[in-house]
Structure 1
């Protein structure tokens, strides 16, 4: 008997549209009465120049995930390229938004955009990801992961027998939402 797919994973190059696609799928699920909880990461731009990233919960709470070093008054402990990662702000929003109530279980989709290098500086976040994707997990998850990553936990998500992975490209990003939505409905039996 085939294992049930519970983990719906979007991967692709940076800037290809994974977050936009995730938001679109959430909107479609919500329109059909499916509850979604979790968070998105969004670019922060000023005068068309990216200066960092925010973490935004599905209920609208916003915090800084990362900013260019030059925009901060003091350096952060962790950096990725030209960005300082603001762990406390990230954890305050992301970890709280990933809490599901017992009544949410099968009728709720947990959205995690993104599971990546910046986010993994948080040991609390990494522990929560291990829980969410554990063999005993009953979570239904829509998540994004980097296309190229050597982290063993991300690779375990990508290769999990309960995961279905879509590679988002400029060619398919406006059309694959229907297939993904259909697969999620199968998992929650709508």
Structure 2
């Protein structure tokens, strides 16, 4: 018998719509009475220029993940391109939003598991726990499309995971396929 899918992984190029798709999935699931918890990562723009990224929990708490270093009063230790990663602000919001739960009817949403987020050793440890074989969580998560960190690759190749690659062609209709798979897993 095949392993039951517990990890619904969304990948795709930057800007293709992974976060938008994840929000759409949450909205559809919530409307059917499925509880969700976790966070999204949102771009912050001013006058059409990206200034950085915020982390926003599904219950509405918000904090900064990264900002253009030119907008920060002091240099930060971790950077990705022109962005300084604000580890403590990220951890204060993210870690409490992705606590493991024994409730198999609550979906854990993690958008995104990537380079910026992995500067946090606490976040990386929590991700290891969540994606372990004895975890009871059902997870919807986004990961980078390019091969990167060994932990991200272990998520991509997990026997209990199914990966969808979002493209500009399929991004408006792939949600139905993912929703159907999720409904099969939570029944």
Aligned-pair distance for 1:138?
1.3
Q: Is the Cα–Cα contact under 8 Å of residues 104 and 186 in structure 2 kept in the other structure?
A: yes
> Number of residue pairs matched?
187
Unaligned residue ranges in structure 2 (runs of 5+): none
Output one character per residue of 1:96-152: Cα deviation in whole Å (capped at 9) or x when no partner. Answer: 1112454xx111000000000000000000000000000111110000000003210
Moved over 2 A (4+): none
Listed as ranges, the matches of 1:108-119 within 5 Å are 108-119=106-117
TM-score (norm 1): 0.97
Report the Cα distance in structure 2 between the residues aligned to 1:87 and 1:129, rounded to whole angstroms. 16
Map of 2:122 onto structure 1: 124
2:176 counterpart residue number: 178
CA distance in 1, matches of 2:17, 2:82: 22
Q: Calculate the aligned-residue CA RMSD, in Å.
A: 0.7
| Contact 1:18–1:168 under 8 Å retained in 2 | yes
Alignment partners' CA distance in 2, 1:53 and 1:11: 18
TM-score of the aligned structures, taking structure 2 as reference length: 0.99
Distance 2:110 2:98 in 1: 8
Contact 1:38 1:57 in 2 (8 A): yes
